[in-house]
Amino acid sequence: MKQRTPYIHARSEDPDFVDLDWASPISTWESERLVTMPEGIHRHEVVFVAYREGVYVIKELPRRLARHEFDMLRRMEDITRQSARPAGYVERPWVDQDDEWAAAVITRYVSHAFPYRDLVSGIGFGKRREALLDAFAGLLVELHIAGFYWGDCSLSNILYRWDASSIEAVMIDAETSRIYDKLSLGQRLEDLTIMETNVAGEMADIASEGGVDIDEADIFLGQDISARYHSLWQELTTSLIVTAGDHFRIRQRIDRLHGLGFAVDDIDLIPVDSGTNVKMRVKVGGRQYHSERLRQMTGIDISENQARVILTDLTYHEAKFGSGSATGKAVAAMKWRASVFEPLLLRISELLPGRDPYQAYCDYLAFRLDMATERERDVSNDEAFDQWEKKGYPHLKSVIEPAPVRSVEE
């Protein structure tokens, strides 16, 4: 029998995956590493495997598509935090390159994430619809600004997770994508049209499964995502004319972009009107302004809106206990992490195992704010946390990460 030796490319910080049965299609595997995790709808065969380093997703597909998707996901790491992290790539040379099991892409499982159907309430998204619109449109704008053409954007090709009071959208499928220096208007509109068509079909399926007429389906959700997209795109890309004496508007513009979560990479001030005024043109970077700022200040690396909320807690601590100098703020940040943040994070992890502790921390801060507002005074962390625990953790959104259903032998 001809030896079946696969080609395996793995990243140094991940397992080498050589112990898996690559001689067979993944649908026939009986490895004890196989685990069951929350998942959406897939076009290709998908399994989950657990290692000491974490849980990984293995997706089989033809060789050309697998190579392309792995390459796209690697390049995406320089564009956004909101994409699946590639861990490895496998080829089976003895299998016809066009067969579904000719190759496989391995990615890190997106922790504390869930498919869009977990957000469905009835035949739509109910109160979560606005948050979904913001997350979906924000991800598309970020990708398009970076020159990323998706080609098959849909609700199913994204995973979702709570991000403070918002929702974070994470791209998990890149097999139809392309990256250019810059997208044309036509390319962006084509991507949006594909998205609208896909989303309308998915919402029609949800209505059908709910036993209601298609006329009651939220088939215009995709168009509303596009409307939110166009509004955000204009906000980020429109040039601003600044007249003499109004230079404060430059700072306002930067603060506005930061408020939306986008980093500002470069600013061009171009003289116009014979030099009387200037046109401000901004090059916007990734949607990670607050997360990057928190990481630089404290070393904590979390999602954008979680970072925004936790930075507010840090700023409050600085104002109350630190000085106005840069050194004083740096010392206050270190004290906050050591005396406030990490002890509370430890309590959360002990009391709420399996949940995202950073999201739960944001949920706790929302409770503390309500408590302080109701009592019209500052509330200490000890007092607020005790009440939060006593009342059964109001505001808690952090989802429980399910444990693997089979034991994993190391």
Domain check: are 199 and 260 in the same one? no
Domain check: are 162 and 253 in the same one? no
Domain check: are 215 and 244 in the same one? no
Let me know if residue 205 belongs to a domain: yes
Q: For residue range 291-301, what is the model confidence (pLDDT) as tens digits?
A: 888 888 888 88
Average pLDDT value over all residues in the chain: 86
* H-only helix segments in 100-220: 129-145, 185-209
pLDDT of residue 410: 43
The two tokens of residue 224 are 């509303």
Q: Using 50, 70 and 90 to split pLDDT, how confident is the model at 408?
A: very low
Domain check: are 128 and 207 in the same one? yes
Let me know if residue 331 belongs to a domain: yes
Domain check: are 80 and 125 in the same one? no
Let me know if residue 210 belongs to a domain: yes
Residue whose pair of structure tokens reads 């991000």 in the numeric block:
163
Angle 396-398-399 from CA coordinates, rounded to 5° = 120
Let me know if residue 409 belongs to a domain: no
Domain check: are 38 and 103 in the same one? yes
Let me know if residue 400 belongs to a domain: no
pLDDT of residue 401: 62
CATH code (residue 12)? 3.30.200
What is the Cα–Cα distance from 172 to 170, expressed in whole angstroms?
6
Let me know if residue 2 belongs to a domain: no
Q: Using 50, 70 and 90 to split pLDDT, how confident is the model at 74?
A: very high
Q: Report the domain count for the chain.
A: 4
Domain check: are 160 and 120 in the same one? yes
Let me know if residue 402 belongs to a domain: no
The amino acid that residue 211 corresponds to is G
Q: CA 186 → CA 40, 182, 305, distances in Å?
A: 30, 11, 31
pLDDT of residue 322: 61
Taking a C-beta distance cutoff of 8 angstroms, is the pair 62, 100 a contact?
yes
At a CB cut-off of 8 Å and minimum separation 6, what does 137 contact? 225, 226, 228, 229, 232
Domain check: are 136 and 170 in the same one? yes
Domain boundary among 61, 87, 108: 108
What is the Cα–Cα distance from 249 to 240, expressed in whole angstroms?
9
Q: Is residue 269 predicted with pLDDT exceeding 60?
A: yes
Outline where DSSP puts E strands in 17-114: 34-35, 46-51, 54-61, 86-91, 103-108
Of 36-40, 236-240, 317-321, 347-351, where does the model show the most confidence? 347-351
Domain check: are 132 and 181 in the same one? yes
Q: For residue range 327-374, what is the model confidence (pLDDT) as tens digits?
A: 667 787 888 888 899 999 999 999 998 888 999 999 999 999 999 999
At a CB cut-off of 8 Å and minimum separation 6, what does 326 contact? none
pLDDT of residue 289: 82
Q: What is the extent of the structural domain holding 98?
A: 7-108
Domain boundary among 90, 108, 126: 108
Domain check: are 351 and 269 in the same one? no
Domain boundary among 208, 235, 262: 235
Q: Is residue 282 predicted with pLDDT exceeding 90?
A: no
Domain check: are 94 and 155 in the same one? no
CATH code (residue 203)? 1.10.510
Give the global pTM.
Answer: 0.78
Let me know if residue 396 belongs to a domain: no
Domain check: are 69 and 81 in the same one? yes
Q: For residue range 96-129, what is the model confidence (pLDDT) as tens digits?
A: 999 999 999 999 998 888 888 888 766 678 788 8
